[in-house]
Amino acid sequence: MKFEMDHMNINTIDLAKSDRFYREALGLKEKRRKEAKDGSYIIVYYVDFNDNFELEITWLRDHPEPYDLDDNEIHLCFRVKDYEKALALHKEMGVVCLENEKMGVYFIEDPDGYWIEIAPYR
């Protein structure tokens, strides 16, 4: 039996900020969205240039306070060919929250506090 990764979900309190972040910081594009008829939620699915894994971002009308991310040990990882150029972009955006030079990776933080690892192809 083979399993194929499909998507990962995170929640946001400000969909517009998250949309801007994921488009500008990581070049993701919206693939589709679902909106509740009563306005209680919006779910947006984003993909990278490969279009084979989706990031699902959910906004819930009745959850306006920040999410408790505890130790924030769960994270996404994106690989990039031009690591130095990506790092410069993210520093310019002010979203770098941790650089680990020994491991050769860094993390950026989205508007809701989720960490995203950026790693070079090796």
List, in order of start, the domains of the chain with CATH numbers. Answer: 7-64+73-120 (3.10.180.10)
**Spatial distance between the Cα atoms of 98 and 46, rounded to a whole number of angstroms:** 24
**Helix 15-26 vs helix 83-93: crossing angle, to nearest 10:** 150
From the centroid of its chain, how far is CA 32?
Answer: 16
Contacts 24+ apart (CB under 8 A), 103-108: 107/75, 108/25
Predicted TM-score (pTM) of this structure: 0.85
What digits encode the pLDDT tens for the residues 63-122? Answer: 988 888 776 667 889 999 999 999 999 999 999 999 999 999 999 999 999 999 999 988
Catalytic residue among 30, 35, 92, 117: 117
**Spatial distance between the Cα atoms of 83 and 59, rounded to a whole number of angstroms:** 31
What digits encode the pLDDT tens for the residues 51-61? Answer: 989 999 999 99
Q: Is 92 a catalytic residue?
A: no
| C-alpha distances out from residue 14 to 19, 58, 66, 120, Å | 9, 10, 10, 30
Bridge partner list, 116: 76, 108
